[in-house]
Amino acid sequence: MRDGLGSHGNGDQSRSVAWLVGYSENVRFLLIPILAVLCYGRNPSRNDALDLNQAIKLESNLPCDGVTNPQQEIVLEAHFSTAGGALMFIVNTYQDETCLAGIGIKCFKHTPAGWRDDLMVNADGISHYWLNSCKAHGSKDPARYTLSAWFKDGTANTKKLPWKQGPLKQVSAQPEVYEFTGPNGGTARVEITRR
């Protein structure tokens, strides 16, 4: 009788140990990505200082109906001069505050509301992008996008130089064309085709 109870007790201990090992593995599986996000922190970028007066507002031609969220494809064909330093176009999108890392009802890391870089174009060529009509599926609020122009002030050792925003101007409505000139004489031009 005692031997039977003893072996039964050992079985309970084995199950308890197995449960603890499984539980610790599950917790570790959940905590590693959360800790990585928390330790990594916020990635600083140019858009903290986005000047909307120097950017161009982009909108989808498809209406936001408050039920769905239609998307419009745009094709950006960019051309950059070979001289005059580094130049770049950026499509920025505005995003509300979101929870980057959380479990259930507890959020450990918030992403603040603000403008984010969505598409960077810094070389001749064609890029495809999709403009949402609404901020979210079923929302009546339109999505917010801008097209901004950026340059590095200088031509030597540009990796260490910060990006600065330059004034972007629309030079044609049909076709839809935007241009800007950097302080060193470099020029950039982008033509947008809507599909």
pLDDT tens digits along 2-16: 444 444 455 566 665
Give the helix, strand, coil percentages of the chain, each rounded to 5.
25, 40, 35
Judge if 66 and 34 occupy the same domain: no
Judge if 34 and 72 occupy the same domain: no
The pLDDT of residue 102 is above 50 = yes
Domain span including residue 162: 46-194
51 close to 173: Cβ distance less than 8 angstroms: no
Q: Which residue has the tokens 């972007």?
A: 168
Judge if 130 and 172 occupy the same domain: yes
Judge if 6 and 75 occupy the same domain: no
The amino acid present at 156, given as its one-letter code, is: A
Per-residue pLDDT of 134-189, as tens digits, reads 988 888 899 999 999 999 876 656 677 888 999 999 999 999 999 999 888 889 99
The pLDDT mean for the chain works out to 79
